[in-house]
Amino acid sequence: MSSGTPGTVRIGTRGSALALAQTGTFASALEAKTGVTVELVTITTEGDRSKASLASLGGTGVFASALREALMVGECDAIVHSLKDLPTAPFPGLTIAAIPKRQDARDALCARDGLTLDTLPAGARVGTGSPRRVAQLLARRPDVEVVDIRGNVDTRLARIADGGDLDAVLLAAAGLGRLGRLDAVTEFLEIDGWPTAPGQGALAIEVRAGEEKLVKSLDHATTRIIVEAERRVLQLLEAGCSAPIGANALVEDGLLFLSARVYSADGSERLTSSHALYVADVQNPAVDVADRVARELLDAGAARLAPLGTSS
């Protein structure tokens, strides 16, 4: 560990309510598992300071950069990311030492008056800042108006309250659960028809290379295989935050299943590829199955549909 209180692990986190909630959950689990004392270090990122769209700021990786800088200079001993916000390219000197057990990977609709996607009226205003969700929403309901939004969960939910300017917002179910706000959900969108971001619902704990033992005890092997497969597809497609891509994997009875879907920005077209293999049959199942899925998508014309070659 770097300088700090002896025996204390300092965990860097963004200061949003969601980041603090998910980091606090991890910190409690680490204390319970290892007996160490944990201290939270709040770090402000450019993504937190700016109100501009994520795409214009350079993508969700804008949240990771300040945390990584703090870790590299010794301000903290580990950092907690929402895995879906973490760029797929490795960061020199750092390593993902733990990926705890994944929470709900689904998206959720939070709408006024208990409305669902199918019962929203024509012209309804639906808020999201995700190009993937925009494409999926327009594919399902081309008659609604999509509104680009930023801000924390409470700010977004306030916009559908009485007097708010939106009829609904799309959010990650895991984030709502960590904040105790599942009461706001009017519909959970099932993965089969609404694939979500690679790694959604999972956390990634980064440390300096060589210090993996600090948090390694909370690594969940099955979750790691699943999310590595999803993120490998994103990496092979060279897709960044502006590419509307969903990917979801699971392990069942020894089989690793992976499905990925690429949308056109307006949701009018999509391509899907799904493959499976036995985990025990290959040395690196996540890489192998992702290679098959990505190759099939590219051969089918994925680069024509989405802005690929823009990964960060």
Q: Considering Cα of 83, then 89, then 94, then 95, what sign does the dihedral take? A: positive
Give the active site residue among 48, 77, 85, 162: 85
- State how far the Cα of 91 lies from the Cα of 94, in Å rounded to an integer: 6
| Catalytic residue flag (residue 85) | yes
Strand 94-98 to strand 203-208: parallel, antiparallel, or no bridges (unpaired)?
Answer: antiparallel
Strand partners, 41: 12
H helices within the chain, ranges in order? 17-34, 46-49, 54-57, 62-72, 131-140, 153-158, 173-178, 221-236, 285-299, 302-305
Place of tokens 């210090």: 211
- State how far the Cα of 287 lies from the Cα of 290, in Å rounded to an integer: 5
Q: Which residues are catalytic?
A: 85
